[in-house]
Structure 1
Amino acid sequence: MHTGSWMIPPVRLAGDIPQDGFGEVVWQLSHRWRVTHRLAVLPVAAAAGSLAHIDEKSAPTMEFQPVTPDLDIPNVSLSEFVFGGLSEDEAGQVAVIHDATDTRLTFGQVRDHAMAFATWLAGQGIGPGDVVTLVLPNSPEFITAFQGIVRSGAAASAASIAYQVRETAHVLKVAGAGRVVTEVGNLAKVLDAATRVGLTPGDIIVAGPGGREAAIAGGHTAYDDVLATPADPPTLDIDPATHVAALPMSMGYTGLPKAVELSHRNIIANVLQFPVYCEPIPPGSRLLGVVPMSHGYGITALANFGLRRRFPVLTMPAFSPVPFLDLVRTHRPTVLFIVPGIASFLANDPSVDTVDWSCADLAISGASSMDPAVAEALVDRIGCDLVCGWGMTEMSPIASFRPRWRTDIDQTVVGMPVPNVRTRVVDPATGQDVVVPETGESAPGEMWCTGDSVMLRFHNEPEATARMLDADGWLHTGDLVTVDREGCMRIVGRCKELIKSRGLQISPAEIEAVLREHPAVADAAVYPVAIAGSPGDEAPYALIQLKPGVTAKPFDFIRHVGSELAKYKQLKSVVFVDSIPRDTAGQIRRDELAGWASR
């Protein structure tokens, strides 16, 4: 903390000032940030006239505010927000295009499918307090099933199709799923995972091509038959601010992946918040949806934003260069939702030049940091605007963007808080806000966020919730940033246990648990190593302590992890050590792992 006299630049007072007693003074330094100073003994009115002599023991906080006004968040259910006011003309327009199965759905069909599924779920006794998990690729079925679950009053959970049986079972268990929706390509895995957590074949709903045949053969339910249910869902009487709509997965600060409780209001807020810094996105825009809908980014941007704004969404089961470029040629998307890995493809791959990109107006990138050289090359090559942002599942997920009109700000920053979000940058060592210089950027601190899109809690994880969400509603993100006086933030590191690979989270604890199950392993620790030439991307490396008298090869453990976890979680290197560094409480000293490996 800066001690002694604490000077602030010329200011204007915002709001009424309490005249006596304990209180809070807020000085508005610009429309982008404010300083809050809590005073323990000095009457506030007196303090306001003595700004140069603030007690060094008091604790100033600096909140960074959006560059645009806050938004009014409607107090309605997510279904009412998405489908309410759908006109007859809009209902007949195409909402989802899925070339992989040659499927087209109109907005009216998406609504009707969702209402039919909600009605069927209600008939099965599924509603508020229940959970249905989706194990589906990006598809029309994902969108309609998600909306149907939410309309029923249940919560929609999702597991990545990249997950193997172990990971899928973990999602089902921590979310408390009572039903699972999947498709033929993932059915065997889902059946194994469901059995592990006590679900039956009858609890599995099979969607997509071949779904009815597979359902009949395996004693499951066919999604196509479910959609034949006459749509008459029961009235939904909920508080949108507290009722859980979705349970996407996230690591939190440490440990295994957790289910994040997002309310109807959380998602509605984010659907309204994030486009503000991306506008104009005019009527008639077409969205290319490559980011996984099982991820918070996909849930907000693709499964809800497009429906709300009546924009057709072009879906792909997974990114693949040839189908991706074919979609652009055929359907001429105007807005591309991407991640830095796809940005690199667009910036560098020769095949990109075979496409006419005059349709593309805007690319929106998130999930991990963007290489500035890649950003510049993408914009030059495709000729569209690029907006990069930052978010996390616990923020529903988008919390900050570099505004589209601020071309003076480089793409290496994650921008300013979106409307209805406030941020602080706090020194993890002292718990006090970092000092922001007149020019340049501050020292690193942990980004804290508060606002309408902050999660309710981790599902059935009170200790993890308390670790990340404080009593005043500030979410401690675990990301280290620097910040300037405009509130523009740059990610410089993290203070939580997390590995990021192509925007996807990897839990060191999850890989460690798999390694410790190997009969040759006495102890193990996993840590991130940056991937050269791919800014923001990391790979998991492992230290392994073998049991006495055991011999093994590193590949034995790489293969072992590969048999249990998704491909993007695979170990890239294994080093054998005599012991794993731990503190007196038995916790791994993670800041020492990289150095331990080179001993």
Structure 2
Amino acid sequence: MFRTQLITKTFKNEYRNLLGVLIKKKHVWTSDKIAKSPFKDIEIPNISVAEHLVNNLEKWATKTAAVCGITGRNYTYEQIHMQSQRLGANLRKKLKIENGDTIGVLLPNMPEYLTTLIGSLNAGGIISTMNPNYTAYEIQRQLTMSDTKLIFTVRETVDTVKEALKLSQRNIPIIVINLDGKLPEGTISFKELVEDSHVDVSILKEVNSKGEDLAFLPYSSGTTGLPKGVELTNTNIVANLIQQDTECRQYEYTTESHQDSVLVSLPMFHCYGLTVVTLHKFSVGLKLVTVPQFRPETFVNILSNFNLNLFYLSPPTVLFMGSYPQVLPKYLEHLRCITCGAAPLPVADIEQFLSKLKPSAHFVQAYGLTETSPLATCSPIGQKDYTKVGFALPNSYLRIIDGNNNNLGPNEVGELVIKGPNIMKGYKNNPEANKQVFLEDGWLRTGDLAKVDEFGAVTIADRLKELIKVNAYQVPPAELESVCKEHPAVFDAAVVPIPDEKTGEKPKAFIVVKDSAKVNEEDIMSFVAKRVAPYKRLKEVTFINEIPKNPSGKILRRVLVEKFC
């Protein structure tokens, strides 16, 4: 019988024994129907993310911090520390960055991402990461909303960034990661800034970031609507990093004779890849193996060339590795722990992947949101119920509420709400969105249907949100509808998710055409494709006479799905 069999009496006993260790002499559920974390509380220091990242640097200063999985280009911890000090000093001295200025980072996964992040934080900047596949229109929107003062990018995307600056009528410095020394016209050399040995780094003493100060400003659609700036403080991020160092720790400690290696294939601009993989694993001295772009052949080469110990994946990558013949078991023999997040993953896909691994390999699903910095729940080593996403992190609390915000009890399904030190400060300049997402006393509505069992383990049942999940990416229907309506022939539009074998879901648009206007499916899809990243592009278009809406004007997407999909 397969080793991952889920619902057996033996498994239930093992599960209870495991949880019994966690919650020994502790009640997870309170009398008010609030589920507490079974993990020990942590102390959260009032320091900046930059300070936390180098707290123990001397323990692994000479070890490799990051290596490009394709080129082998690598840096030690002390090299990244030195470069980020120089970069931070030059950002303040030469480029006049001040405390609280927003710095845009539009880069693929690469070792230099770390220097860029830490250098920007050293300078007192707030980092707003961007998808390198964004169009000029998408970049322009984020530049404007975040009031970005400076942006990092690579040569391949310089023209797109310049077009975005024209659209936003902004003139800000563009720093290009130019490792070969070549530099596009009108840009600034990253190489010169980080190799400037004469810059006085004492200027960084002017920076005095506190826990309550903002550190990151990623953009997320939250539970619905257009992208919003998620204000993450130093305390939010530091808390989420330390929360991963407790009983749910998945890495082995870095010593003189041992260093875990982690695959960095998740986008570093995405909060999951940014915090859980990049920042956290750097903070504990691991070797980060970066994957700049997913291509089957190069991905398999990376698996074969590095003895990787930890994977943090999205469902499509798990499915790929389980089904792709060239991903051989011998490439995965050093794997100790695999965490899957970003979207639910069927047990059959997990078992197909696990068939290539050693029996001792640990596989879990985790859960989080950009608004939770992002990790909200995780599982301890030994958890084997792949239908669950783990337990609330230390210092965190969960509630399940009904439509009237009343608390429900164990194993009852309702909306999951979360409270903890990793919950965002709020959405930037958006009081209406904050009013919708926050309940009393700092409880965050997730927009997800879930249940919490008697031990505190969470199962995500369904999504209340209207976001379309394409691979691990969020596609807000409202954004695509807005783009569709920019077409001169379109009177009204609605976008819904439809199933897709490869990506999980894909966007489909329903279009109402203006009187006498002539337009076809290809016209609409081409128009949208020029204005959004590839994963957001429409895959189907249907023309209808009227978009169904409720009395308040809200689109009834479920009606469209039931009638046409």
Q: TM-score, normalised by structure 2?
A: 0.90
Per the TM alignment, residue 278 of structure 1 is displaced from its structure 2 partner at its CA by: 4.1
Does the 8 Å contact 2:29/2:456 carry over to 1?
no
2:299 is the counterpart of 1:324: yes
Rg comparison, structure with higher value: 1
Partner SS state of residue 550, structure 2: coil
Q: Which of 75-84 and 319-328 deviates more? A: 319-328
2:408 is the counterpart of 1:404: no
1:533 and 1:521 map into 2 onto residues whose CA distance is 30
Per the TM alignment, residue 471 of structure 1 is displaced from its structure 2 partner at its CA by: 3.7
Per the TM alignment, residue 583 of structure 1 is displaced from its structure 2 partner at its CA by: 2.8
1:516 and 1:454 map into 2 onto residues whose CA distance is 34
2:170 is the counterpart of 1:199: yes
Residue 368 of structure 2, aligned match among 391, 399, 416:
391
Q: In structure 1, what is the equivalent of residue 539 of structure 2?
A: 572
Partner SS state of residue 42, structure 2: coil
2:476 is the counterpart of 1:507: yes
Per the TM alignment, residue 125 of structure 1 is displaced from its structure 2 partner at its CA by: 2.1
Q: In structure 1, what is the equivalent of residue 42 of structure 2?
A: 71
Q: In structure 2, what is the equivalent of residue 286 of structure 1?
A: 261
The code of the aligned residue for 1:400 comes to: T
1:144 and 1:154 map into 2 onto residues whose CA distance is 13
Does the 8 Å contact 1:423/1:448 carry over to 2?
yes
Q: How many residues align?
A: 532
The 1:514–1:533 alpha-carbon spacing in structure 2 relative to 1, beyond 3 Å, is closer
2:2 is the counterpart of 1:31: no
Partner SS state of residue 132, structure 1: strand
1:324 and 1:435 map into 2 onto residues whose CA distance is 44
1:590 and 1:125 map into 2 onto residues whose CA distance is 48
2:320 is the counterpart of 1:345: yes
The 1:264–1:319 alpha-carbon spacing in structure 2 relative to 1, beyond 3 Å, is same
Per the TM alignment, residue 489 of structure 1 is displaced from its structure 2 partner at its CA by: 1.9
Q: In structure 2, what is the equivalent of residue 538 of structure 1?
A: 505
- Residue by residue over 1:315-337, the C-alpha shift from the partner in whole angstroms, topping out at 9 and shown as x without a partner, is 01122222222222222111112
2:329 and 2:223 map into 1 onto residues whose CA distance is 44
Mapping of 1:366-445 within 5 angstroms?
366-383=341-358, 384-407=361-384, 409=385, 411-427=386-402, 429-436=403-410, 441-442=411-412, 444-445=413-414
Q: Which of 241-250 and 224-233 deviates more? A: 224-233
1:253 and 1:105 map into 2 onto residues whose CA distance is 39
Does the 8 Å contact 1:424/1:447 carry over to 2?
yes
2:336 is the counterpart of 1:361: yes
The code of the aligned residue for 2:159 comes to: A
Per the TM alignment, residue 448 of structure 1 is displaced from its structure 2 partner at its CA by: 0.3
The 1:233–1:360 alpha-carbon spacing in structure 2 relative to 1, beyond 3 Å, is farther
Residue 591 of structure 1, aligned match among 540, 554, 558:
558
Q: In structure 1, what is the equivalent of residue 216 of structure 2?
A: 246
Per the TM alignment, residue 102 of structure 1 is displaced from its structure 2 partner at its CA by: 3.6
Partner SS state of residue 301, structure 1: helix
Q: In structure 2, what is the equivalent of residue 188 of structure 1?
A: 159
- Residue by residue over 1:452-498, the C-alpha shift from the partner in whole angstroms, topping out at 9 and shown as x without a partner, is 10001111212112211234110101111123222222222222231
The 1:470–1:354 alpha-carbon spacing in structure 2 relative to 1, beyond 3 Å, is closer
Does the 8 Å contact 2:377/2:389 carry over to 1?
yes
1:208 and 1:364 map into 2 onto residues whose CA distance is 33
Cα root mean square deviation, aligned: 2.0
The code of the aligned residue for 2:375 comes to: I
Q: Which of 516-525 and 267-276 deviates more? A: 267-276
1:336 and 1:400 map into 2 onto residues whose CA distance is 17
Per the TM alignment, residue 301 of structure 1 is displaced from its structure 2 partner at its CA by: 2.5
2:96 and 2:27 map into 1 onto residues whose CA distance is 48
Does the 8 Å contact 1:32/1:66 carry over to 2?
no
The 1:472–1:30 alpha-carbon spacing in structure 2 relative to 1, beyond 3 Å, is farther
Q: TM-score, normalised by structure 1?
A: 0.85
1:543 and 1:286 map into 2 onto residues whose CA distance is 46
- Residue by residue over 1:369-423, the C-alpha shift from the partner in whole angstroms, topping out at 9 and shown as x without a partner, is 111111122222122211210111000001012332222x2x1222221112211
Per the TM alignment, residue 32 of structure 1 is displaced from its structure 2 partner at its CA by: 5.2
- Residue by residue over 1:149-175, the C-alpha shift from the partner in whole angstroms, topping out at 9 and shown as x without a partner, is 111111011110121111111121111
Partner SS state of residue 111, structure 1: helix
Structure 1 residues not aligned, in runs of 5+: 1-27, 37-60
Does the 8 Å contact 2:316/2:502 carry over to 1?
no
